Amino acid sequence: MTVRSAGSAAMDGAPASFETGEALRSVGVRPVPHRSRALSKEMIADAEIIFAMTPSHLDAIRSIDPSAAGKSALLDPVGDVPDPIGMPQEVYNQTAHRLAELILDRLEELDA
């Protein structure tokens, strides 16, 4: 399985923030050099499934490629996962923990 990250409103090439690195460490992940990528129609075509953090992200994915509707969903089926940008480190850490749980849940569902 290959997992990729891209943003529906991201600019290509921005490094991960210091806070992101600290949040990754808080869930036991060693940060590696990372650069942001803008989601493209090609990425959508190559994906088997696409998870979005918010309904507006889901709308953006589907506006890039309407055929993504059948293979895109919210990472958290019951609500948003807000972007912690500009918030204190604790919010980044809480978001990382929530994302880790949600990702494991979705992987288990896919494996079932």
Q: Supply the pLDDT for residue 1.
A: 75
Q: Supply the pLDDT for residue 2.
A: 82
pTM here is: 0.87
Q: Supply the pLDDT for residue 8.
A: 85
What is the CATH T-level fold of the domain 18-111, as seen in this structure? Rossmann fold (3.40.50)
Query: Where do the domains of the chain lie?
Result: 18-111
Q: What letter does residue 39 receive in the DSSP assignment?
A: -
Q: Supply the pLDDT for residue 9.
A: 81
Q: Supply the pLDDT for residue 66.
A: 96
Q: 15-70: per-residue pLDDT in tens?
A: 999 999 999 999 999 999 889 999 999 999 999 999 999 999 999 999 999 999 99
Task: Give the helix, strand, coil percentages of the chain, each rounded to 5.
Answer: 50, 10, 45
Cα angle 91, 44, 79 (rounded to 5 degrees) comes to 35
Q: Supply the pLDDT for residue 29.
A: 94
Q: Which of 108, 60, 49, 57 is nearest to 81 (CA)?
A: 57
Q: Supply the pLDDT for residue 61.
A: 96
- How far CA 105 is from CA of 41, 62, 76, 109, in Å, comes to 27, 23, 9, 6
Contacts of 49 (CB under 8 A, 6+ apart): 71, 72, 73, 110
